[in-house]
Amino acid sequence: MSTAIAITSGKGGTGKTSLTGGVASCLAALGHKVLCIDMDIGLRNLDLSLGMSDRALMDFTDVVSGRTTLEKAAVAHPVIQGLYLLTAPLTQPRDVITEEKLRAFLAQAKASYDYVLMDAPAGLGGGFRMSVCGADRALVVSTTDASALRDAQRTVGELSRSIRSLHLVVNRVQPKLLRQLRTTIDDAMDAAGLPLLGVVPEDPQVMLAANRGQPLILMARYGAARAYLNIARRLTGERVPLMRIR
């Protein structure tokens, strides 16, 4: 059964977009047909994480408004089979995008793809609400600092009104910093009020891959790349032990 997953964060800088691209790449590598949708109008970056910045010509609002079909707008990744991107517009669309239209669009996408991953804008504004209106489940991405966890908790409060399946991903984890702060991943779970889906270490390869225009899994097998794969496998129902980050 196809699933639409909103990937959200209470604030910027949590690595949400990199995680979206990384998990989507791994789901495709596992044999699933995956559509990534960048929902961040005016601030899109998912194309950079996927190495597809020069390929996306149409955006999701073109499909929602009926100017083109999903089949024509979604761009296939040049290397990773089964991975597709539908980007966001650079400016506010001239057409009114309603929740009803978005729900119908997502239903269409779910009929064609196994997984639809939506990179939602950070924060709790109108773009966030539109991005999650048709999601079956949501991942809240946070770092371990207090401000990110507080914002994650607020995000959970908004999401819990309409989405039952909510999980936390703790990203950019630095064990040395955790020790200095005298905190743990369990503390992060308690602060966010969510069950944990995955832990991702701080990894310089993430930024290096984005700057080179390549998905991380084409460059690395350990660190964040391994964590993305573990999260992807858990999303498919596998039981995978949490990564030990030293």
Is this structure's pTM higher than 0.75? Answer: yes
Q: Is domain 3-235 in CATH 3.40.1110.10, yes or no?
A: no
CB atoms within 10 A of CB 43: 13
Domain ranges of the chain: 3-235
Average pLDDT of the segment spanning 175-204 = 76
Q: To the nearest whole percent, how much of the chain has pLDDT over 90?
A: 49
Residue 172 has pLDDT above 60, yes or no: yes
Checking 91-95 for CB contacts under 8 A at 24+ apart, the result is 91/41, 91/42, 92/41, 92/42, 93/41, 93/61, 93/65, 95/61, 95/64, 95/65
CB atoms within 10 A of CB 36: 32
pLDDT tens digits for range 106-138: 999 999 999 999 999 887 777 788 888 889 999
Q: What is the pLDDT of residue 191?
A: 72
Which runs of E-coded beta strand occur in 96-238? 115-119, 137-142, 165-173, 196-201
